[in-house]
Amino acid sequence: MTEIPGLIAASDVEEWADETDVLIIGFGIAGACAALEARRAGADALVIERASGGGGASALSAGIFYLGGGTAVQEAVGIEDTPEDMFKFLMASTGAPDAELVRRFCDDSVEHFDWLETQGVPFERTYYKDKAVIAPTSECLASTGNEKLWPYREIAAPVPRGHKVAIEGDGGGAVAMEALIARCLDEGVRPLYDSRVTALIVDGDERLVGACVRQFGEEQSLRARRAVIIAAGGFGMNKDMMDEHVPNLPETAEPLGIPNNDGDAIVLGQSAGAATRAMGGIIATGSFYPPGHLIKGVLVNMRGERFIAEDSYHGRTADFILEQPNSAAYLIVDSEIFAYPEIETAKHRLLDGWDSITEMEAGLKLPEGSLQTTMDQYNRDAAAGHDTLFNKHPDWLKPLDKGPFAAFDVGYGNSTYVYLTLGGLRTTADAEVLDEQGKTVPGLYAAGACVSSIPQDGKGYASGLSLAPASYYGRVAGRNAARLSNR
């Protein structure tokens, strides 16, 4: 369903198969949180889910939530944070165009953390201090973004805000979803599984009043007395949409998620006149760390030049590598820091070892003198403790002068980068959907991976900036939808 479906007029509906106050499309984290809050505000909440059960991509996720401003975990492990610092960091680093939307997320972040815990999503009072993409332990708090990267470390105090669900390593998303879905069912949220929303229904005032649903080959119309909430996920699995919006992404990159992350949410929103934003934004990852000390290496492109501070968040590094000639890049290390990248799925191949940088330059077929010049300058800077090119943090600086030297291929051509989409429907801080003129679409709300909320691309992403805004703005959507009067 990449084609934008037509809107159905309520006056053309012969029979309503069911009615509800708030109709929610999708039972991932955004939909579950929306349904719970709508229910608690006194509304009947019907969730339409295309799969045979709830969970969505949310249940596949690592379960890292980006939250701060002084959460119970931050306090327990002695990290001082404020909503203001969190706001300053997110505004400076993510490219978020809507300050109000970011402000509310930061101001309510402590409350939102408490709310998640109250629903049964477990978090330890612990701090994982090493550098990893997903902490291998059940420890909670970790630095999961560009907080310590220049210039952000000078804009706001660089504190950790990634909160991982209490489970060893990966898999926290399933734990979170199990708790949230159980709450929904306990509190009377009505799920309708194996049912795909194929079109939206509007009344004579162009207000959203329902949805057409296909269930086991049968079409039916469902009425929403108050509002419709779209929470049906991203579009990474839709090749046509990816080709249209992210045309420079090499074929080797692979989407993360479930097959149903194929853009239905976005085309349904567009059918009602919704505007989209940041559709080219993705968070790709093929991290060369852990081990963390590989960050002391340097990244160069096919011109033998550095192009980024190597202590960047892995999603930022992936975006920069994508922009290099042929999306190619090499990680250069000396014998003192040599190690194999631990994330095997990224498939960063060791190319070879060389006794000198000149030999490596020739071996990698880099322009004559290019790598030598790069390494000379880097080693001078590292010895002086100041990276004059990119301001890499002094913690990660050391002269790379202990041969032999090795290079790993970390470019897109021979490595595997996996990605999620970040672009989607435009919404307000009240989770209302906006049209091209910036006006709200009556009776329509959206949250989760189908909206463009805070991070606009991988350069500004931090792990946890999907689940946290999806759950927070899902709640906002549910509360606001429930507040509308019946039609």
Ligand X SMILES: Cc1cc2nc3c(=O)[nH]c(=O)nc-3n(C[C@H](O)[C@H](O)[C@H](O)COP(=O)(O)OP(=O)(O)OC[C@H]3O[C@@H](n4cnc5c(N)ncnc54)[C@H](O)[C@@H]3O)c2cc1C
Question: CA separation (Å) from 440 to 198, 204, 268, 424, 446?
Answer: 22, 16, 15, 15, 11
Is residue 281 a contact point for ligand X (CB under 6 A)? Answer: no
- Binding status of residue 57 toward ligand X by CB under 6 A: yes
Determine the interface stretch with ligand X among 50-58, 71-79, 113-121, 365-373 (rule: CB under 6 A). 50-58
Distance CA 55, CA 29 (A): 7
User: Any idea what DSSP says for residue 220?
Assistant: E
Candidates 202-210, 230-238, 246-254, 322-330 — which segment interacts with ligand X by CB under 6 A? 230-238
CB of 486 to ligand X, least distance (A): 23
Identify whether the C-beta of residue 370 lies closer than 8 Å to the C-beta of residue 130: no
Q: Two tokens at 417?
A: 């980068």
Q: Is-contact 33 180, C-beta < 8 A?
A: yes
* Residue from 231, 253, 343, 444 in contact with ligand X (CB under 6 A): 231
CA dist., res. 149 & res. 152, Å (int): 6
Single out the residue of 10, 22, 23, 25 in contact with ligand X (rule: CB under 6 A): 25
Should residue 58 be labelled a site residue for ligand X when binding is judged by CB under 6 A?
A: yes
Query: Is residue 264 involved in binding ligand X (CB under 6 A)?
Result: yes
Rule CB under 6 A: say whether 160 interacts with ligand X.
no
> According to CB under 6 A, which one of 24, 35, 36, 64 is a site residue for ligand X?
64
Residue pair 301/328 in contact by the 8 Å Cβ criterion: yes
DSSP-based three-state secondary structure for 270 = helix
Q: Tell me the backbone φ, ψ of residue 69, rounded to 5 degrees.
A: 85, 10
433 binds ligand X (CB under 6 A): no
Q: Which of 29, 142, 357, 406 binds ligand X (CB under 6 A)?
A: 29
User: Per the structure block, which two tokens stand in for 106?
Assistant: 């930061």
- Based on the shown chain and the rule CB under 6 A, indicate whether residue 431 belongs to the binding site for ligand X: no
Residue 37 near ligand X by CB under 6 A: no
- Which one of residues 21, 24, 27, 161 is an interface residue with ligand X (CB under 6 A)? 27
119-124 contacts: CB < 8 A, separation 24 or more? 119/36, 119/179, 119/180, 119/183, 120/179, 120/180, 120/182, 120/183, 121/165, 121/175, 121/176, 121/179, 121/180, 122/165, 122/166, 122/175, 122/179, 123/73, 123/163, 123/164, 123/165, 123/166, 124/73, 124/166
Check: CB of residue 320 under 8 Å from CB of residue 312.
yes
Q: Which stretch binds ligand X (CB under 6 A): 78-86, 285-293, 398-406, 444-452?
A: 444-452
Query: Is residue 282 near ligand X by the rule CB under 6 A?
Result: no
Report the nearest approach of ligand X to the CB of residue 421 (Å): 9
Instruction: Give the CB-side neighbour count of residue 366, counting CA atoms within 13 A.
Output: 26
Stretch touching ligand X by CB under 6 A, among 306-314, 396-404, 427-435, 464-472: 464-472
Coil, helix or strand at residue 53: coil
Binders of ligand X among 127-146, rule CB under 6 A? none
What mask, x for binding ligand X by CB under 6 A, covers residues 167 to 206? ------x----------------------xx---------
The answer to whether residue 459 forms part of the interface with ligand X (CB under 6 A) is: no
Residue 269 makes contact with ligand X by CB under 6 A: no
Q: Does 279 bind ligand X (CB under 6 A)?
A: no
Nearer to ligand X, 52 or 485 (CB): 52
Q: Which residues bind ligand X (CB under 6 A)?
A: 25-31, 48-51, 56-58, 60-64, 173, 196-197, 231-233, 256-258, 260-261, 264, 420, 448-450, 463-467, 470
